Amino acid sequence: MTGGSGVDREQRCVVVGASMGGLRAAEAVRKAGFTGEITVIGDEPHMPYNRPPLSKDALLGSTGAADLAFRVPRAAQDVRWWLGERVIAADLAARTVTLDNGDRLDWAGLVVATGLSPRRVPIPGPLAGRHVIRTLDDIAALRRELTPGGRLVVIGAGFIGCEVAAVARGFGLEVDIVAPEPVPIERPLGAELGSALRQRHEAHGVRFHLGRLPVRFEGPDRVTSVVLDDGTELAADAVIEAVGCVPNTGWLQGNGLDLSDGVLCDNLLRVQGRPDVVACGDIARFPNLLFDEVPRRVEHWTMVTDTAKKAGNTLGRHLIGADPDPVPFAPIPSFWSDQYDLRLQSFGAVGLGAEDVRVLEGDLDDEVAVGYHRGGHLVGVVLIGMAARYQHYRALIADCAALAAAEA
């Protein structure tokens, strides 16, 4: 089938990726005034759902698929959803996308919202018993193997690895974390705060094996242990591979795009300046003018919504022949992480080349605010607890960014 539902190409917008980003982008295209067909294509069988709880409440079973599903807003009620379908190629010159079943769909506007896929650990051994955390189906498979008293090995000491470790300890599992870094969550948070979080995890019984790499999975038909590069062998009833993700850009190959780290966009989220193709979410690499003109990917939950709304508005205005919104795109990145009974919140350019990291108030052993400075200006803040100070520091980040821009 070519052309889809028979709608003229100039009256169709295609969104590849049925995630939160895809949903919000479709909504923004419609709100911008585009009245043609909007088709969202996603390789999962599920409607868009909230992913952050997957490594938290969903893993415990206290939150199900129905609880995680997003409500489809009024502006997106007439969107066509093609779920369980995978786009394998795009021809930007011909303005088509091709699905794995051979169907080809024409478009006047295209939204790239295919997000990320988890990396796997490339070492020998059985595959059964090894898990990643990215989708509802991933969680369903993992939850069947988590039983009190079981032994869990987590490979990776980033946010996902530490969140899963906290949930597993609360569920009564023995937990070992393996990672090459000297402290957990070091790259985004820095050594001092990472060390403080390690102490909190150790107080709950988590065992760390830092500065170490796994070299082999043992077991006759499923993983029973993980062997490290120093010869240590860790017993395992299940293994979680939490070693980061890679952007899903394979379907865009062959179009002359810069796909070296996600999809390169301008500040309006246009893919390398094309007015008919935009990108959003974790896959979009763009300059955030709140800080500088360096294009970066930012894997924060709030950035998915922010970029999707901007990308959809940019594309929708193009499709109706209107000029793009001239206001520079300058969102404040933010994220949160729940580990045991603490809530960690971050906003601003945390982890982006901070030259000075220091405690602003509180204590690393209790509730604390940690500031990240660059060029003498506060560019990011991480809070552990201190919920009442959230708005204060969020406003302070914006004020400091405006001051830095005025001095530039």
Q: Which amino acid is at 271?
A: V
Has residue 353 been placed in a domain?
yes
In our burial notation (b when 16+ CB lie closer than 10 A, e otherwise), range 40-73 reads: bbbbbebbbbebbbbbbbbbeeebeeeebeeebe
211 lies in some domain: yes
Amino acid identity at 177: I
Q: Cα–Cα distances in Å, from 391 out to 290, 344, 375, 394?
A: 18, 14, 23, 5
Asked if 251 and 194 sit in the same domain, the reply is no
Ordered per-residue pLDDT tens for the chain, 408 residues? 345 555 566 789 999 999 999 999 999 999 999 999 999 999 999 999 988 878 877 777 766 778 888 899 888 899 999 999 999 999 999 999 999 999 999 999 999 999 999 999 999 999 999 999 999 999 989 988 888 999 999 999 999 999 999 999 988 999 999 999 999 999 889 899 999 999 999 999 999 999 999 999 999 999 999 999 999 999 999 999 999 999 999 999 999 999 999 999 999 999 988 999 999 999 999 999 888 889 999 888 889 999 999 999 999 999 999 999 989 999 988 888 888 888 899 988 887 667 889 999 999 989 999 999 988 888 899 999 998 998 999 889 888 877 776 776
Phi and psi for 203 in degrees, rounded to 5? -65, -20
Cβ atoms within 10 Å of 387's Cβ, excluding its own: 10
CA atoms within 13 A on the CB side of 249: 23
The reported pLDDT for the residue numbered 150 is 95
Tell me, yes or no, whether 99 and 161 share the same domain.
no
Residue 154 lies in a domain: yes
Quick one: 205 and 292 in the same domain? no
Report yes or no on 48 lying in a domain.
Answer: yes
pLDDT at residue number 62: 65
Task: Identify whether 324 is part of a domain.
Answer: no
Domain-embedded: residue 333: no
**Do residues 71 and 132 both lie within one domain?**
no
Question: Would residue 267 count as lying in a domain?
Answer: yes
Beta bridge mates, 174: 151
Give me the domain span that covers residue 211.
Answer: 120-243
Output the pLDDT for position 1: 37
Torsion of CA 308, 112, 21, 334, to 10 degrees: -60
In a domain, 332, yes or no: no
Residues 267, 238: one domain?
no
Spell out where 2-101 has E strands.
12-16, 37-42, 80-83, 87-91, 96-99
Q: Are residues 171 and 33 in the same domain?
A: no
DSSP-assigned letters across all residues of 149-217? T-EEEEE--SHHHHHHHHHHHHTT-EEEEEESSSSTTHHHH-HHHHHHHHHHHHHTT-EEEET--EEEE
Comparing CA positions, the residue from 197, 195, 192, 36 lying closest to residue 106 is 36
- Provide the domain count of the chain: 3
Residue 9's pLDDT is 60
How many other CB atoms are there within 10 angstroms of residue 263's CB atom? 27
CATH of the domain at 134: 3.50.50.60
- The first and second tokens of residue 148, run together, are 């009190």
d(CA 74, CA 401): 35
Same domain, 281 and 230: no
| Domain's final residue, options 243, 269, 297 | 243
Same-domain pairing of 139 and 252: no
